[in-house]
Amino acid sequence: MEHFEKGVTPSDKELNGSNLRVLIVHTRWNLPIVEALVKGAKETMISKHNVLAENIVIESVPGAYELPFAAKALIQSAQAQGSSASGDLLASATDLLGELTTSADKKPDSPNPGAKKAKKGAFDAVICVGVLIKGSTMHFEYICEAVSQGIMRVGLDSNIPVIFGVLTCLNDEQAHNRAGLVPNGHNHGEDWGSAAVEMALVKNRAL
């Protein structure tokens, strides 16, 4: 039987996220594990997919149940700011033209031509990160169901890719393994970072 390796097969398309703005919302519950996952997602987007560090916004909430609400609220807030900025664009352009001068003794600015500014406005993708570990009651099952359905609904309702970055583990060992905190473990945050970039590009792709 041919060897089978679990995990996602990398996309055969170029995933260049240099023009993307990404939101990471994470929980503070089980924070040491969550921090490793957030770090994996952020570093992968920057080093592998060219997302600017300035274009990655990180916010936190108490627990996993709060992730869907926070993601939806921050998506809407960013979209509103983007709309307001667009409304001021014409006025800003007029002001800029008024400041132009042909004076021979005026020295032009010499910015770094390769520098890129941080994006403002709407997010292109969101990653919700949390760690749920089963205890001795049904609380685990209820939270897992509510959070997974809530995160999916935010993505569908907002038309913004929202990545499900919530580990649902039966014990501490499984969580540490999936955050890459033990030998031979794998940090799933890296996969979520790549998924966010890929899905943002899918959304914006012209067919």
Amino acid identity of residue 67, one-letter, is L
Question: Rounded to an integer, what distance in angstroms lies between the CA atom of residue 70 and that of residue 172?
Answer: 26
Can you read off the two tokens belonging to residue 142? 């209820």
Beta bridge partners of 24: 58, 127
Contacts 24+ apart (CB under 8 A), 179-184: 179/33, 179/36, 179/37, 179/40, 179/131, 180/36, 180/40, 181/33, 181/36
Catalytic residue among 3, 49, 139, 188: 139
Residues 6+ apart with CB under 8 A from 33: 131, 167, 175, 176, 179, 181
Q: Which residues, 6 or more positions from 17, have their beta carbon under 8 angstroms from its beta carbon?
A: 45, 49, 50, 51, 197, 200, 201
Indicate if 176 belongs to the active site. no
**Active site members:** 139
